[in-house]
Amino acid sequence: MDIDKLFKEVMSGHSHYDLNRLKKLQESTDKIAGITYRKNNPVVAIRESIERHVRQFESASNHDQEVMIMAASFGSQVVFYVDSIEFNNPDLIIFHGTTDSGKPMQLIQHHNQLNFLLQAGEKHNPDKERRQIGFINS
């Protein structure tokens, strides 16, 4: 049956369908769709977890410090200031920021290879207010 026709019947009161049962069915369908979306896009749950941990770390750090990330996936350590973390569905995480020397950088990682260390360090620019890491969904 066409859903629009069914809706019109229910709303007009000329239907044998129970409106409450239809609402519960819609809620269940929405819940299943949300679970399926999260299953097919693993960075959704990862984003929530990373943002929570970064915000907790930022709030515990001194106001004269900024959060830096140390990545150790290249056989050596790379330390950089993070401006934003982009979550690119379904499975990529992209760190945008600058190196100690001020050069722009991006680190692109698959969610299965994600390992990094949060570190509080001196502000990149001591004359400006402390930066908070931004979070981007794409």
Name, of 5-9, 75-79, 105-109, the range with top average pLDDT: 105-109
Please report whether residue 118 resides in a domain.
yes
- Residue-wise pLDDT tens digits, 111-128: 888 888 888 888 877 888
- Residue-wise pLDDT tens digits, 44-74: 888 888 899 999 998 998 888 888 888 766 6
Q: What is the pLDDT of residue 119?
A: 86
Please report whether residue 37 resides in a domain.
no
Please report whether residue 87 resides in a domain.
yes
Please report whether residue 91 resides in a domain.
yes
| C-alpha to C-alpha distance for 51 and 95, rounded to whole angstroms | 13
CA distances from 7 to 3, 17, 20, 32 (A): 6, 10, 12, 21
Please report whether residue 23 resides in a domain.
no
Domain range for 82 is 42-137
Please report whether residue 131 resides in a domain.
yes
Please say whether the dihedral angle defined by the alpha carbons of residues 106, 110, 113 and 118, taken in this order, is positive or negative.
positive
> How many structural domains does the chain have?
1
pTM summary value = 0.67
Q: What is the pLDDT of residue 10?
A: 67
- Residue-wise pLDDT tens digits, 73-87: 666 777 888 889 998
Please report whether residue 2 resides in a domain.
no
Please report whether residue 105 resides in a domain.
yes
Q: Is 70 exceeded by the pLDDT of residue 14? A: no
Residue % of the chain over a pLDDT of 70: 86
